[in-house]
Amino acid sequence: MEKQNQSKGEIIVRYTIIILSTIGLLLCSAVLFPQVRRLIMDLGEKILHQGSSTYQIWFETLFSYAMGGIFFILLFDYCTLTHSGKMLVSNVKQEIKDVWSEINFRSLLIPVLIMFGIYFLGILTIIRANFLYLDDTLRSVAGARGWLVWGRYVADFFSIFVHGDTNLTDISPMPQLLAILFLSISSVALIYILCDKKITVVRLLASIPLGLSPFFLESLSYKYDAPYMAMSILASIVPFLFITRKRAFFFISVISLLIMCMTYQAASGIYLLIVIILCFQAWNSQKKSNREILSMAGTAALAFCATMLIFKFFLMRALAPYDYASTTMYPLSQIASGILINIKNYATLINHDLGLIWKIGIALICVFFIIKSITVSSQKKALSFFISILVVGISFILSYGVYILLTNPLFFPRALSGFGVFLAILCIYAVSDYKKAAIVTVLALNWCFLVFAFSYGNALADQARYAEFRITLLLHDLSNLYPNLNKENTLIQLQNSIDFTPSIKNISKHYPVIERLVPCRLGTDSNPFYNNYYYLEHFHFGRSGMANIPDFTSVDFNSLDLPVVKDSYYHTIKSDGSHILVILKP
């Protein structure tokens, strides 16, 4: 009787899946027809009273979603309705359970707490600075999430739970604490994977660049984005816990890499970095045959490529290119030269940003990595020497991730977070059962990173104090000159930017990256939109909204030959009553 009921239940489930899949396929297929998309577009125009150009990008995205829907429905049907699919799912589930049961989670708790304490100490001054960093200025006022435009669905969805509402509010430092929790787990997991499950205090300290590299400090400065940027690093590391089970590794890799793509794509090179180092370790020690190494590398490469294709064709939003970055790849005819240009720019920027002491420490760690590789090698020493150099070079290039393929990649510090993980991997490898000189060098470098994190947080607070002083003076003069600005159709345009504080200039003498990390907050530097939004919206000035944000049209108010209405030590104001040009003095 039980078997009959079970059989009936399976039949009901089977037919329910078939019916729902058929409906889903019909709906997705309908969207593929231009006539259907045109009908939806016409309906949208009538409801929202906007032109068709507003919807063009959205419907290109809708086409991708429809294609993705068809793909995932067919994949789901294969896994639930066919015998081979059910067996595959059963095998993957069993492999995941086997790996999960092998991990002693209790033994990982103390290491995670140690790293949480270190990372918390590192961002303490950032939290104390209470600095609204770039996008934070908009989100704290508008409450908008806005990650969907970049295809960051997980970040957008997860933020609702973090903030307890669809409308975002400033709940710092909770998001940053959540970020360092993810980073702490990432550090421990990375050591667990690279060091055959053996975690020591020295190795934990060696992993500090993963979360406190100068570049990832920018990510930790965001009050709203920080946890999702950190989550992308964790998602890139997790699959390697399942490296001993081929099916589970492939499945978890695809899921985790999709999460990475849908949180922050700057972490796209971390997965490849770990693949390279694991393959190198296995080859150098001869613990695995060349065939096994190629199989591991091939599985990882297949999972990575499959995920990138799924994201690009089915999930990535089609959007107009921004002036500072794009999602457009080089065509095949230009891809080699384009990659070389991006590698050169990446290396040049890293060289510019790092201080001399950091460069010396990093160079020594690379040397220790190579020497250790030769010392412990079961291969020929000369071959191990050349391969270890090649591994360092390739790993550095891969640390930039898929950005290296783009025509206009992002070069802000937060986009270079892969370099911190690259450095953490070298540090962990160098201190593992090796000479004290390597340990001292690694710990000294990481101490410098920790100290810089303190300086950076204090620099944010110092710049905020100075910027608000300048904003106060400017708004005082503007309010005296134009007491009814909100009622008038008046546009404000800034020229120049305020300077950095003396303390930041002092830091920049040895650590140039500080001037790329700290926003000046008032003026036309690399982030004019957020600077201008801050001084208008956050001080209740120009409350008519975005229309009063200094316009980004091609009109230059200098060409209007405006008369000077106010000249002071800090700024000059020119105006004809409807146009206001503020010339900031450094």
What is the reported pLDDT for 560?
A: 86
Question: To which H or E segment does residue 237 belong?
Answer: helix 226-237
Burial of 155 (0-12, 13-18, 19+ CB in 10 A): buried
| Cα torsion through 347, 348, 350, 356, rounded to 10 | 120
DSSP-assigned letters across all residues of 288-327: S-HHHHHHHHHHHHHHHHHHHHHIIIIISPP-PPPSS---
Residue 99 counted as domain residue: no
- On whether both 385 and 262 belong to a single domain, the answer is yes
End-to-end CA distance of the chain: 86
- Give yes or no: residues 427 and 335 share one domain: yes
> CB of 405 within 8 A of CB of 329?
yes
pLDDT of res. 371: 93
Q: For residue 565, is it within any domain?
A: yes
Which residue, 387, 418, 434, sits at the end of a domain? 434
Question: Alpha-carbon distance 374 to 369, whole Å?
Answer: 9
- Whether the Cβ atoms of residue 500 and residue 166 lie closer than 8 Å to each other: no
Q: What is the largest CA-CA distance in the chain?
A: 94
Count CB-CB contacts under 10 A for residue 545: 10
| pTM attached to this predicted model | 0.92
Task: In whole angstroms, give the CA distance from residue 7 to residue 51.
Answer: 55
Residue 53's pLDDT is 47
**Distance, C-alpha 58 to centroid of its chain:** 24
Domain for residue 386, yes or no? yes
List the beta bridge partners of residue 97.
none
Contacts by residues 354-357 (CB-CB < 8 Å, ≥ 24 positions apart): 354/214, 354/511, 354/512, 354/513, 355/510, 355/511, 355/512, 355/513, 356/510, 357/448, 357/510
Q: What pairs with residue 494 in β-bridges?
A: 582
pLDDT of residue 544: 45
Is residue 228 included in any domain, yes or no? Answer: yes
Does residue 465 sit in the same domain as residue 520? yes
In a domain, 556, yes or no: yes
Examine residue 448 and state whether it is found in any structural domain, yes or no: no
Q: Are residues 134 and 76 in the same domain?
A: no
pLDDT at 142: 87
How far is residue 204's CA from residue 137's CA, in Å, rounded to a whole number? Answer: 35
pLDDT at 550: 52
Amino acid present at 30: A
DSSP state of 583: E
Residue pLDDT, tens place only, 514-559: 999 999 999 888 778 888 888 888 888 865 444 445 545 567 888 8
| Integer Cα distance of 264 and 476 in angstroms | 40
Same domain, 197 and 259: yes
Specify whether 426 is located in the same domain as 529.
Answer: no
The reply to whether 177 and 315 lie within a common domain is yes
Count structural domains, the chain.
3
Whether residues 419 and 291 share a domain: the answer is yes
What is the sign of the dihedral through the CA atoms of 176, 181, 185 and 188? positive
Instruction: Enter the tokens of residue 100.
Output: 């999960």
The answer to whether position 245 is within a domain reads yes
pLDDT at 78: 84
pLDDT of residue 542: 64
What torsion do the CA atoms of 391, 190, 215, 160 make, to the nearest 10 degrees? 140
Residues spanned by the domain of 484: 460-584
Does any domain span residue 100?
no
Q: What is the pLDDT of residue 555?
A: 76
d(CA 478, CA 550): 14
Instruction: State whether 537 and 573 are in the same domain.
Output: yes
Residues 51 and 190 in one domain: no
Identify whether residues 189 and 262 lie together within a single domain. yes
- Give me the tens of pLDDT residue by residue for the chain, a chain 586 residues long: 555 555 666 778 787 888 888 887 777 777 666 666 566 666 655 554 544 444 555 666 667 777 778 888 888 888 888 888 889 889 999 999 999 999 999 999 999 999 999 999 999 999 999 999 999 998 998 888 888 878 889 999 999 999 999 999 999 999 999 999 999 999 999 999 999 999 999 999 999 999 999 999 999 999 999 999 999 999 999 999 999 999 999 999 999 999 999 999 999 999 999 999 999 999 999 989 999 999 999 999 999 999 999 998 888 875 555 556 677 888 888 999 999 999 999 999 999 999 999 999 999 999 999 999 999 999 999 999 999 999 999 999 999 999 999 988 989 999 999 999 999 999 999 998 778 899 999 999 999 999 999 999 999 999 999 999 999 999 999 989 888 776 667 788 888 999 999 999 999 999 999 999 999 999 888 778 888 888 888 888 865 444 445 545 567 888 888 999 999 999 999 998 888 899 999 8
Domain check: are 114 and 34 in the same one? no
Check: CB of residue 474 under 8 Å from CB of residue 570.
yes
**CB-count burial class (<10 Å; 0-12, 13-18, 19+) for 572:** middle
